[in-house]
Structure 1
Amino acid sequence: MKNYLKIASMCIFALALTACNTIDGAGQDVEEAGETIQDAAN
């Protein structure tokens, strides 16, 4: 079960990285995720 979770986490992480075409895109994605979390908390 632990190996499955590790593999799934790595796949999700890899997909997230490939979705960000540049470092700037990665920064924007992280910023948007943070804003979404803040909005959900309020």
Structure 2
Amino acid sequence: MTNRLAVLTTILAGALMLSACANTVRGVGRDVGNTVDATGAAVNDVAR
């Protein structure tokens, strides 16, 4: 019984860590996209 609880706890902790990593990667992707958009807008403003 104790082994099952330890395995279940380990699996749940691993799943939580993986979902946190996925959210972080998704957030970084959005940040990079926003930076590219802002840089493009700044270049267009300077070019005018």
Q: Which TM-score applies when normalising by structure 1?
A: 0.49
Higher RCO, 1 vs 2 (CA within 8 Å, ≥6 residues apart): 1
